[in-house]
């Protein structure tokens, strides 16, 4: 897309309500993020690192929100990054103070958890248009660094206030059992969770990042200013976190869009449509084929897809972004083979 396209033209296209336009711009934004901010280019080994460092690989899966808009969950591997066990080994017992200081400095520089100018300043500008609807701040002709940085900081403050500041709702307490059980936010966001500094437990190697505002979702200032949408950036620095994120990403890749109660309802309707089996009218094989067809049609007809998802597939954008290509793995056959070779009762 022409970089000189006017902001008003972009806004008019996005606000047109056309799902194909929404899918088009989503794809453009993600690819621009990978190309420009992550600076990923496997063909140019001498290219300058991106905002997070030199990226060696990435994988992102696309999901639609309840209102249909698309968003991406992305896992990023940094070149030269250590695995969680290596990080822990270099943090415990305080043997490598230099490494610990460099890691903490990198994380504090990359991940922010505060409203730059304070919530009071952001509230004063609440009458202005939503910052996500506005283009990023550009330097004016002849503008000084002081003036430009001031406008940039004010814009970032508004973005954080509008997109990153958590407001408790009923979904925060959906797993609360009531009674005497403590009513805590399941996202672990609360003003009492504020921490001034990033700390490292040299006995266990556990890293606890600073949280200057307990209600602010972690963000990267440059990425937030450029993409102008909510984000939640996390550092995967422990074996437990790595396992959790692996499960999280796998769950997103494989999960069905059809809710379980809707699927069972559709199957029940399909079975009733088939009716009572009559031996003289059809064979068992024909009956089974008819039942499978009815179930498949019922499931497909009850599948809920947003207009943006449909448009994205029709325009061949797909539902994932990845730096590498992989061969499909038939998991059930693989699992059976492993079990036949090395059976373990603990896995079943």
Mind listing the pLDDT tens digit for each residue in 160-212? 999 999 988 888 888 888 888 888 888 888 888 899 999 888 888 788 899 99
Q: Using pLDDT thresholds of 50, 70 and 90, give the confidence band for residue 7.
A: very low
- The structural domain count of the chain equals 2
Q: Does residue 94 sit within a domain?
A: yes
Domain shared by 157 and 295, yes or no:
no
Cβ neighbours for 185, distance < 8 A, ≥ 6 positions apart: 166, 168, 172, 173
Cβ neighbours for 93, distance < 8 A, ≥ 6 positions apart: 202, 203
Q: Does residue 3 sit within a domain?
A: no
User: Residue 207: beta bridge partners?
Assistant: 200
User: What is the reported pTM?
Assistant: 0.75
Q: Using pLDDT thresholds of 50, 70 and 90, give the confidence band for residue 9.
A: very low
Which of 302, 317, 332 is a domain's end point? 302
- How high is the pLDDT of residue 109? 94
Domain shared by 231 and 159, yes or no:
yes
Domain shared by 147 and 275, yes or no:
no
Evaluate if residue 1 carries a pLDDT over 50: no
Domain shared by 84 and 192, yes or no:
yes
- In whole angstroms, what separates CA 95 from the centre of its chain? 35
Domain shared by 308 and 263, yes or no:
no
Domain shared by 236 and 333, yes or no:
yes
Read off the pLDDT of residues 226-263 as tens digits, 9 standing for 90 and up.
999 899 999 987 767 777 877 877 776 666 555 555 56
Structural domain containing residue 289: 258-302
Q: Using pLDDT thresholds of 50, 70 and 90, give the confidence band for residue 280.
A: low
Nearest one of 200, 38, 190, 212 to 112, comparing CA atoms: 212
Contact 104, 200 (CB under 8 A): yes
Nearest one of 41, 26, 7 to 306, comparing CA atoms: 26
Q: Average pLDDT for residues 134-139, to the nearest whole number?
A: 86
Domain shared by 266 and 253, yes or no:
no
Element (H, E) at 60: strand 55-64
Domain shared by 218 and 84, yes or no:
yes
Domain shared by 280 and 153, yes or no:
no
Q: Average pLDDT for residues 217-221, to the nearest whole number?
A: 95
* Residue of 204 and 7 predicted with greater confidence: 204
Q: Tell me if residue 135 falls in helix, strand or coil.
A: coil
Domain shared by 252 and 274, yes or no:
no
- How high is the pLDDT of residue 249? 74
Cβ neighbours for 339, distance < 8 A, ≥ 6 positions apart: 347
- Residue 222: C-alpha distances to residues 17, 219, 231 (Å): 28, 9, 12
- How high is the pLDDT of residue 147? 93
- How high is the pLDDT of residue 25? 82
Q: Does residue 348 sit within a domain?
A: no
Q: Does residue 237 sit within a domain?
A: yes
Q: Tell me if residue 4 falls in helix, strand or coil.
A: coil
Domain shared by 292 and 317, yes or no:
no
Eight-class DSSP state of 218: P
- How high is the pLDDT of residue 38? 95
* Residue of 284 and 145 predicted with greater confidence: 145
Q: Does residue 20 sit within a domain?
A: yes
In the chain, which ranges are continuous DSSP H helix?
7-14, 19-32, 84-91, 97-110, 119-124, 145-159, 221-227, 239-254, 260-274, 284-301, 307-314, 331-341
Strand order in the sheet with 70-78: 70-78, 55-64, 320-322
Nearest one of 229, 312, 310, 325 to 27, comparing CA atoms: 312
Q: Using CA atoms, how far apart are residues 78 and 74, in angstroms rounded to an integer?
A: 13
Q: Does residue 309 sit within a domain?
A: yes
- How high is the pLDDT of residue 2? 42
Q: Does residue 248 sit within a domain?
A: yes
* Residue of 18 and 73 predicted with greater confidence: 73
Domain shared by 201 and 285, yes or no:
no
Q: Using CA atoms, how far apart are residues 235 and 249, in angstroms rounded to an integer?
A: 15
Q: Does residue 1 sit within a domain?
A: no
- How high is the pLDDT of residue 223? 94
């Amino acid at each position: 897309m022409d970089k000189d396209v006017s902001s008003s033209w972009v806004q008019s296209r996005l606000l047109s309500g056309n799902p194909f336009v929404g899918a088009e711009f989503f794809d453009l934004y993600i690819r621009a993020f990978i190309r420009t901010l992550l600076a990923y280019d496997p063909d140019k080994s001498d290219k300058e690192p991106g905002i997070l460092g030199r990226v060696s690989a990435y994988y992102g899966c696309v999901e639609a929100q309840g209102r249909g808009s698309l968003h991406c969950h992305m896992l990023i591997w940094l070149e030269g990054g250590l695995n969680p066990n290596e990080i822990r080994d270099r943090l415990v017992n305080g043997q490598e103070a230099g490494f610990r200081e460099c890691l903490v400095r990198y994380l504090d520089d990359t991940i922010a958890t505060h409203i730059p100018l304070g919530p009071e300043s952001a509230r004063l500008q609440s009458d202005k248009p939503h910052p996500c609807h506005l283009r990023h701040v550009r330097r004016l002709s002849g503008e000084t660094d002081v003036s430009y940085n001031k406008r940039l900081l004010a814009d970032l403050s508004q973005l954080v206030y509008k997109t990153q500041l958590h407001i408790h709702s009923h979904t925060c307490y959906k797993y609360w059992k009531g009674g005497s059980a403590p009513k805590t936010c399941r996202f672990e966001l609360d003003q009492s969770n504020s921490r001034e500094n990033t700390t490292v437990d040299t006995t266990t190697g556990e890293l606890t990042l600073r949280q200057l505002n307990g209600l602010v979702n972690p963000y990267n200032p440059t990425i937030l200013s450029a993409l102008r949408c909510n984000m939640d950036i996390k550092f995967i620095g422990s074996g437990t976190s790595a396992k959790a994120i692996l499960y999280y990403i796998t769950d997103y890749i494989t999960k069905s869009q059809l809710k379980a109660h809707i699927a069972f309802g559709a199957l029940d309707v399909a079975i009733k449509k088939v009716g009572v089996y009559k031996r003289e009218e059809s064979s068992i094989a024909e009956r089974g084929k008819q039942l499978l067809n009815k179930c498949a049609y019922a499931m497909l007809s009850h599948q809920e897809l947003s207009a943006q998802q449909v448009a994205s597939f029709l325009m061949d954008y797909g539902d994932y972004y990845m730096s590498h290509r992989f061969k499909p793995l038939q998991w059930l056959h693989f699992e059976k083979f492993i079990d036949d070779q090395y059976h373990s009762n603990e896995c079943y």
